């Protein structure tokens, strides 16, 4: 130990030996002592002369008002300090947004397929790092009205088996889930505030949600264990309308509610018959549109809405999406992302499909509550 360090230690020790404890009174403790003294004074005054009570009542009301003001001020200071500690910055309390390419219900059984494994790793990221309190999900398989959104307010419902021609056991599949009227009401309020017509309905989860969630949040190994509230798309192909839909619910992310949008980056069922032969390469539009989508999603958020809207005007757009129902969910997700950047986590063009998975925002910007 250096002589300088020894001197500092000796000086600190000397100071500690001669320090006289000083009682510290916080504002709250001072208030309690004042109120206690007031009660004692009232009792004494009442015993001596009941007429003194009138004066003491007027005085006590002033003391109580002052005490309330001081308490509110002190509490406000504590709340502000606590808020700073918890949030640090505006991004800490904000969950990311995910776009899942969900495929068909057969993905649940194709455990060796790369998409199954990728959905599983995304699900693990969500349950172990994001840790949301609830999930709000938009699926390609639910359209509301032309200018009206439907919100599932049911807390317990059956699954919807909205697919055809699969083996019987597909229609016996189960996925444990529960809704939340409280979260649904928050969604409805957010839409109302944004001037979007919406109504609550009771409905099950379609396979665009439960089939992909069964891969991402396998009930035995990686259960989600939070409420799931599904919200419809508009019954339109207007990309800007869906972008605004996402913007309307964006602030829910600050309440530790995770927004997931489910569709496909490329989705052409009609051309599947041309790609069933073994290791057939992906069709050209499955590659070109997939890359164009990536470029639009990862662009500067200031330009992103316009670039994503232009995707629908591309020459290969109707090949990649004969109907835009599987594309529009990512417009909702991009709108909900606000100023957060988009990132493609993974992709796989395959036949007349493509499996791109996206995330908007940083996982480290979220926190469990």
Under a CB-based contact definition with an 8 Å cutoff, are residues 120 and 218 in contact? yes
Percentage of the chain beyond pLDDT 90 is 70
For the chain, where are the alpha helices, taking DSSP H only?
3-17, 27-48, 52-87, 114-125, 181-193, 207-216, 239-249, 284-297, 301-310, 317-320, 328-337
Per-domain residue ranges of the chain: 25-75, 97-269+281-361
pLDDT of residue 35: 52
pLDDT of residue 333: 99
The more confidently predicted of residues 76 and 144 is 144
The DSSP secondary-structure symbol of 182 reads H
Q: What is the pTM of this model?
A: 0.76
Report, at the CATH architecture level, how domain 97-269+281-361 is classified: 3-Layer(aba) Sandwich (3.40)
C-alpha gyration radius of the chain: 30
Under a CB-based contact definition with an 8 Å cutoff, are residues 171 and 108 in contact? no
Q: Quick one: which of 144, 150, 173 has its CA closest to 161?
A: 173
Under a CB-based contact definition with an 8 Å cutoff, are residues 197 and 148 in contact? yes
The more confidently predicted of residues 181 and 15 is 181
Task: Please state, in angstroms and rounded to a whole number, the distance separating the CA atoms of residues 285 and 208.
Answer: 23
Task: Please state, in angstroms and rounded to a whole number, the distance separating the CA atoms of residues 361 and 259.
Answer: 11
Q: In terms of C-beta density within 10 A (0-12 exposed, 13-18 middle, 19 or more buried), how is residue 210 classed? A: buried
- Inform me whether the pLDDT recorded for 190 exceeds 80: yes
pLDDT of residue 269: 96
Query: Helix/strand/coil (H, E, C) string of 237-271?
Result: CCHHHHHHHHHHHHHHHHHCEEEEEEECCEECCHH
The more confidently predicted of residues 56 and 308 is 308
Mean pLDDT in the chain? 82
pLDDT 10s digits, 277-316: 667 899 999 999 999 999 999 999 999 999 999 999 999 9
- 3-state class (DSSP) for residue 174: coil
């Amino acid at each position: 130990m250096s002589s300088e360090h020894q001197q500092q230690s000796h000086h600190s020790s000397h100071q500690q030996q001669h320090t006289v404890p000083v009682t510290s009174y916080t504002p709250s403790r001072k208030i309690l002592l004042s109120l206690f003294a007031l009660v004692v004074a009232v009792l004494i005054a009442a015993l001596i002369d009941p007429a003194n009570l009138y004066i003491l009542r007027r005085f006590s009301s002033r003391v109580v008002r002052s005490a309330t003001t001081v308490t509110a001020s002190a509490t406000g200071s504590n709340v502000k300090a606590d808020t700073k500690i918890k949030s640090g910055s505006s991004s800490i309390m904000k969950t990311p947004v995910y776009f899942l390419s969900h495929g068909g219900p057969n993905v649940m059984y194709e455990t060796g397929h790369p998409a199954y494994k990728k959905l599983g790793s995304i699900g693990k990221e969500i349950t172990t790092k994001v840790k949301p309190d609830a999930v709000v999900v938009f699926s390609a398989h639910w359209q509301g009205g032309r200018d009206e959104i439907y919100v599932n307010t049911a807390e317990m419902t059956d699954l919807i088996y909205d697919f055809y021609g699969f083996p019987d056991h597909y229609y016996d599949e189960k996925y444990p889930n529960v809704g939340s009227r409280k979260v649904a009401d928050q969604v409805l309020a957010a839409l109302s505030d944004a001037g979007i017509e919406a109504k609550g309905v009771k409905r099950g989860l379609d396979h665009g949600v439960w089939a992909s969630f069964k891969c991402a949040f396998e009930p035995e190994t990686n259960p989600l264990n939070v409420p799931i509230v599904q919200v419809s798309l508009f019954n339109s192909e207007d990309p800007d309308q869906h972008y605004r839909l996402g913007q309307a619910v964006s602030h829910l992310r600050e309440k530790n509610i995770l927004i997931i949008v489910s569709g496909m980056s490329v989705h052409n069922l009609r051309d599947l018959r041309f790609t069933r032969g073994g290791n057939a390469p992906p069709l050209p539009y499955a590659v070109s549109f997939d890359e164009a989508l990536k470029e639009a999603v990862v662009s500067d958020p200031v330009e992103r809405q316009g670039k994503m809207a232009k995707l629908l005007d591309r020459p290969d757009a109707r090949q990649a999406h004969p109907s835009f129902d599987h594309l529009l969910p990512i417009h909702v997700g991009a709108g909900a992302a606000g100023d957060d950047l988009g990132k493609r986590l993974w992709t796989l063009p395959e036949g007349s499909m493509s499996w791109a998975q996206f995330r908007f925002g940083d996982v480290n910007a979220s926190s469990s509550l």
